Structure 1
Amino acid sequence: MNELIICSGFGGQGVMSMGQILAYSGMIEKKEVSWLPSYGPEMRGGTANCSVIISDTSIASPVITNNATTAIVMNLPSLKKFENSLVKDGILLINSSLINQDPLRKDIKYFKIPANQLAVEFCSNVKVANMIMIGSYLELTKQLSKESILQGFLKIFGEKKANLLSINEEALKVGADYVKQNYSTK
């Protein structure tokens, strides 16, 4: 396993927590991990991104340049910025609720997931769109388990947010089910 993941979107979409949850999940599964947030003018409504590496071997550098195996993009500026950071045959998950164009590259695999729409329709809360994207990622890659993602959620948000675990578990299922129903994962 050597996953190099970029998570990107507007501030407030849970991009940083998405990356942290993936990283903690990797640690729970006894992998080597790194999480590198990118802060600047990012705040609610601005852009934000982070890099996550999950590997079976030691990680030399937390920096992901043009070698990402997966990019999860939640808005159009993120698609434009990170599409070219993927390796050939890399996976691009696109939040099609906010992005209405396809990537320009033809040598990658991309999946359009209407995360915001699914979050509202099935979970009655747009804030779980990031977990829908994680659920989609899990179904596509089979790299991490749902159980470790949920443990990672509790590690990030603590027991005071444990009451939100069930809605986040449902969001993971919604994302996985959307992929199963709309894309062949064989």
Structure 2
Amino acid sequence: MPTSPSTSTPEPDTSSVPLDNATIPSAALQAPTVCVYLNKYGKMGPHLDACRIQSLPDHFGPGRASSVLQQCVQACVDCAHNQSSVFSCLKPGHGGELISAHFEQQHHTLTLPAVNSVTYVLRFLEKLCHNLHCDPLFGSQPIPKVLEKSWKSISQISVIELFNQVLNFGAGLRIGYIA
């Protein structure tokens, strides 16, 4: 009489096998992901509070583009001296994420436009910063550490001094004005 083996065959490891499209929600297949970096060292203009901007994270994301856009715009609203100034720069959209603000003793909400690309997120944020009269706050790359000190003091020094700091030639070599 044959006997069965004392050990069983192990099940195959399927953890590295990709899921088929039927098991992934269609929204997840189409939603672009993005990470947006914050430039805390530029000029904040008349509408944004520099101290509040400093308290924000260095980046938003990575995440769905629509969610990251919402986080960036909501951060601008939250850091505004007057939240209505940011709201007045925005046009209501359809299909996007919701942002909220409190001004004129009321709670206000606005739906952002639907996001169809990472490029759209960056352009939207660039236009928002332009409308808020501030330096570009958002970008696709982190601010290099060597420039942070220069950005912090850019409003207090001349362009020539900034250039000298960035190049850091040392040994007394400096660029100056021609007399």
TM-score using structure 2 length: 0.32
The answer to which structure has the higher strand fraction is 1
Higher Cα Rg, which structure: 2
TM-score using structure 1 length: 0.31
